[in-house]
Structure 1
């Protein structure tokens, strides 16, 4: 049975896709705030509705949730740099939304599925970007305190070389890596392999959308770089991670609880 609850909508721009939804539990049981960034290979056909079942489930568990929408490709006015600027603005708008709703801030955990995993980890490293890069933050600031990657496309260049989803990464970037290598460096979390916050990666071994080897490759590099990374595989596909009740989604919820229990430092 679908919940009758209606989240609060906060617009961070004038475009119809520039908004986020704040889901507030009847009784807040957790200090951590879950920030959901949906996937869909950055395409317009897939929107914030894919994050709502997760937001509803986490709200029922006592979490405050920020379900973020952004401009996308294929008719959604997104791509480079609009999609990145939107994710940055949507995350930066959380503080004022909490304040206006009378909610205390807390550690911010980005939960990103597929392309949303890419955007979450990119955002986590905004303080490592040069000032000229879209979405860059000063070195002293952070917009996320941890990331849970649900089969995330964390290596943008590798995704392009594998032609994932008919070269969805190239469509996002509006060029190839050879045509504008600096743009791709700014957009690719794999070029900032360890943003200095905990990263939990989950990947299904039968994932046909984002091959498990992409996750394994990134995890090996991140661990070699000394980053605080946990990598978990499970027997399953791409979509159990965003299906409440599925064992893969329960792994995400358990990971969120463990991150909070380990003492994330909110600002």
Structure 2
């Protein structure tokens, strides 16, 4: 699938790849992909390359973004600023670079793991110039404060925030989606029951809190699948991601299971 590189800033990590659906005149929705990987420079946007290409094949534009991470010019101030800038670019830079019209009023966010934390964090930014139409959280790290409090913060979180939870718990809460509801953005949380890196309890807690705060939210738990199932086209986590991104009202579906991929052959 052809892609267009777009720089949304002057730093090396401030860029993304735009995938355009073939054979359409547009306008088409834009799906912004935020990869995970502990907010660390050890992981890159290539984690979402296959997803971006597949979404474009199914008729939407995919904006797969890189951002400054720990070890690549970033800590929390830089990482969060880059996600805001990449989202803002869907209204400015992307339409200028795209060969077909984009529906900039319909920008959907998909984040995996740490990327889901970033997606729901930016969705809750009231001053952001682009309001997403939906968020899909894949195995989201959505409760950073509780995770830090019970696990001593962890090296990844301390490297991101530059301070331990014990010394500054508020910075962890401010970045934690669980403590930022309501976002007023419809959300689908998808989480494998066998996830060892980010237990499904994180998505359960978020969905409960968001729903109680008035958000439109649904949680789809995937039996027998783990944290990285979202990177594998053969899994139900992958199929449910397609459903969550492409269905008209996925958050209304409390029982999304199906015997075969409804998108097969599309």
TM-score (norm 1): 0.85
**Residue equivalent to 2:21:** 25
- Which of 164, 177, 193 pairs up with 1:176? 164
**Aligned-residue offset at 1:257:** 1.9
C-alpha RMSD of the superposition: 2.1
Distance 1:109 1:203, change over 3 A: same
Alpha carbons of 1:261 and 1:114: their partners in 2 closer, same or farther (altered >3 Å)? closer
On the 8 A contact 1:158/1:214 being kept in 2, the answer is no
Q: Residues 222, 233 of structure 1: CA spacing in aligned structure 2 closer, same or farther, 3 A cutoff?
A: same
Could you list the per-position Cα deviations for residues 146-172 of structure 1 after superposition, in whole angstroms to 9, with x for gaps in the alignment? 100001111121232343994422221
Query: What SS does the aligned partner of 1:239 have?
Result: helix
| 2:102 matched residue in structure 1 | 104
User: 1:120 and 2:125 equivalent?
Assistant: no
Report the number of matched residues: 246
Question: Is the aligned partner of 1:41 residue 2:38?
Answer: yes
For the 8 Å contact 1:25–1:60, the answer to whether it is kept is yes
Q: Give the secondary-structure state (helix, strand or coil) at the position aligned to 1:110.
A: strand
Distance (whole Å) between structure 1 residues aligned to residue 217 and residue 116 of structure 2: 14
The reply on whether 1:79 has 2:75 as its aligned counterpart is yes
Q: Which runs of 4+ in 1 moved over 6 A?
A: none
Is the alpha carbon distance of 1:84 and 1:199 closer, same or farther for their aligned partners in structure 2, counting shifts above 3 Å? same
- SS of alignment partner, residue 105 of structure 1: strand
Q: Distance in 2 between matches of 1:79 and 1:178?
A: 18
Deviation at 1:76, TM superposition (A): 1.2
Q: Is the 8 A contact 1:110 1:120 kept in 2?
A: yes
**Gaps (5+ residues) in structure 1?**
128-136, 263-267
The Cα offsets for residues 45-74 of structure 1, whole Å up to 9 and x where unpaired, read as 11100010100111111110000110111x
Change (3 A) 1:81 1:221: same
Q: Is the 8 A contact 1:57 1:244 kept in 2?
A: no
Q: Which of 232, 236, 256 matches 2:220? A: 232
Q: Structure 2: give runs of 5+ residues left out of the alignment.
A: 252-266
Residue number in structure 2 paired with 1:188: 176
Residue pair 2:178, 2:205 contacting (<8 A) in 1 also: no
Normalising by structure 2, we get a TM-score of 0.85
**In 2: Cα distance, 1:90 partner to 1:123 partner:** 10
Give how far 1:239 is off. 1.2
